[in-house]
A and B are shown apart, each in its own frame.
Chain A
Amino acid sequence: MQFFWAFVVGGALCVIGQLLMDLTSYKFTPAHVLVTFVSAGAIISAVGLYQPLVNLAGAGATVPLTGFGHLLAQGAINGVKQHGLLGAFSGGITAAAAGITAAVVFGYLAALAFRPRS
């Protein structure tokens, strides 16, 4: 059942992104969509509404960039729980470290290995 919800929730989040691009001004670029999704994910997560979505849809909620924001926000909040104020500084990136490091390393390697086409 989680496979079904992964498809539907993941697809629905992308639909929101598509509508943001198509129905707003040309000034709202794909980069703006990514930034909006990360921040929105962090905010929704902080008020406690994102975790239920993850429980329902699994990758459908964690793979879209809102899930990245959720990871960062939960990391910061858990950091505060464990280490106090300092945790707000260290928790977010700690939680998201795998994704960030993977993106940097694989990005770097891909840039070395490939030549851009048109």
Chain B
Amino acid sequence: MPAIKQKQLYYDMVKQSAPKPRVWRNTFWAFVVGGLICLVGQFIIVFFRTRGLDVNEAGAATSATLVFLAAFLTGLGVYDEVSRFGGAGGIVPITGFANSMVAPALEYRAEGMVFGVGARLFNIAGPVLVWGIVTAWVAGILYYFFR
């Protein structure tokens, strides 16, 4: 049998045998967990607003607070359970971003403060910052030329 045909046949076999991801269940919990994290964020925003911060300041303070909470829960070994259960509900909010920084930094601490903690903080945050900053920069440049 030619190799390509054999691979195609096997590909079909694997596709048949592998269980489908539990999309409905995963989606439901992603909605609930993600929604709850945003709801907590909303409470924090309102709290800072009542303390007299303006919209932008309250937003920044809320981000910082959520990041702190996520870093703390990651250190306690709780946040990975949140994402294991909630999937994207735990990954997509800024708390997931914080988790993706703390987790590798924590784990690679044995490799030292420079190459361990220092470098690994940006394992996943690095790509996120690169893509975010470049996209925003392009937006700024386009705005400059085409406003």
Contact = CB atoms under 8 A, between A and B. Distances in A.
**Are chains A and B touching in the complex at the 8 Å CB cutoff?**
yes
Interface of A: 2-3, 6-23, 30-31, 33-35, 37-39, 41-43, 45-46, 57-60, 62-65, 67-69, 71-73, 75-77, 79-81, 84-85, 87-89, 91-93, 96-104, 106-117
B62 A62 contact: yes
Task: Summarize A's interface: helix, strand, loop or mixed.
Answer: helix
Interface string B80-99: 00010011110111111110
10 closest cross-chain pairs (CB), A and B: A10-B38, A14-B34, A11-B35, A88-B140, A76-B140, A17-B88, A114-B75, A59-B41, A98-B60, A72-B136
B136 A75 contact: yes
Contacts of A43: 135, 139
Contact of B67 (A16, A77, A99): A99
Interface in B90-147: 91-98, 100-103, 105-107, 109, 117, 121, 124-125, 127-129, 131-133, 135-137, 139-144, 147
Contact of A85 (B61, B125, B144): B144
Contacts of B40: 59
Nearest to A97: B60
A42 B135 contact: yes
Contacts of B95: 63
Interface in B66-84: 66-68, 71-72, 74-77, 83
Contact of A6 (B39, B101, B127): B39
Interface in B22-77: 23, 26-27, 30-45, 59-64, 66-68, 71-72, 74-77
Contacts, number: 281
A65 B63 CA distance: 11
Contacts of B2: none
14 contacts: A3-B39, A6-B42, A17-B34, A17-B87, A18-B27, A18-B30, A22-B23, A22-B27, A58-B41, A62-B59, A76-B137, A81-B143, A88-B141, A93-B133
A14 B89 CA distance: 5
Contacts of B32: 11
A71 to B, nearest CB: 8
Given A31-B127, A65-B97, A116-B106, A107 B71 contact: yes
